[in-house]
Amino acid sequence: MSDTITLEGFHGTSSLNADAILKGGFRSSLGDKEWLGDGVYFFTEGISSPQNNAVKWAIAQSWDNTEKKQTYIDYSVIKANICVEEDRFLDLTSSEGMKFFNHLRNKYIESVKKGKVRPKNQDFKDGHIINDAREFLGIKIDVTKGNFPIRFETERVYNIKFRTPNTTILAVFDVNTIINNLSIIKKGIIK
């Protein structure tokens, strides 16, 4: 067994959700739109303040763009300790982690090339590759860390898009065993 790494994660959501999480724990996000594969997502220490990012995320997510209305006004930020065995931690903010991912990604591309096909309706998503590697290649990836460009309220309102990352995030796959010491560190009202 390898050494354990402990990371601090910050999760911004509605106060209602936050209370439910504190009582019943996190539910893992599944699906293809998650950047780093299945898991619960947190902001973490990196290229900007994770606490502020969690607040900004909670505010941005309160707006339902389909219904064109705000879905909550009370938000909370949950702090959690995330413990992961070092050899199950994929750090895409490091060159070593990126070399691993790029090699893996190239193998998927090669497979498509050998199959003489190409995706018709969408590009390959990083999260799908991570999920597939976890499930079919037997690579135990419990936590993935990466830098991402995220559009918060201001960027969304003013339609500002960028690709240089502004946040560092964690995707925690095994929510039951490696997230602990949950506490609400901030509550606020969206004006």
Partner 1 sequence: MITLEKYKEQIDTYFDNTPPSEIIKRFEALGYEFEPIDNSVDSNNLPIAEINQEVICVEEIGIFDMQDEFSESLYESEFPPVSGVYFSNVILFQKTLSHNVLDSSDISFEDFDVSEEFNFFSQKVETCNKDYEQLENTQRAMAA
Applying CB under 8 A, among 111, 154, 180, 183 the residue interacting with partner 1 is 111
Whole-number Å distance between alpha carbons of 60 and 151: 8
DSSP state of 20: H
Asked whether 77 and 51 are in contact (CB, 8 A), the reply is: yes
Helix (H, G, I), strand (E, B) or coil at 139: coil
Q: What string marks each residue from 87 to 106 as x (binds partner 1 by CB under 8 A) or -?
A: xxxxx--x-xx-xx--xxxx
Please, which residue, 73 or 112, has the CB nearer to partner 1?
112
* Residue with smaller CB distance to partner 1, 78 or 143: 143
Report if residue 123 touches partner 1, rule: CB under 8 A. Answer: yes
C-beta closer to partner 1: residue 125 or 186: 125
Query: Cβ–Cβ contacts within 10 Å for residue 100, how many?
Result: 17
Phi, psi of 139 (to 5 degrees): -90, 120
Site for partner 1 in 138-157 (CB under 8 A): 138-139, 141, 149
Nearer to partner 1, 86 or 185 (CB): 86
Contacts of 164 (CB under 8 A, 6+ apart): 149
Residues 25-64 as x/- pattern, contact with partner 1 by CB under 8 A: -------x--------------------------------
Rounded distance, CA 41 to CA 125, Å?
A: 17
Q: Are 144 and 92 in contact (CB under 8 A)?
A: yes
Which residues make up the interface to partner 1 (CB under 8 A)? 32, 86-91, 94, 96-97, 99-100, 103-126, 128, 132-133, 136-139, 141, 149, 159-161, 163-164
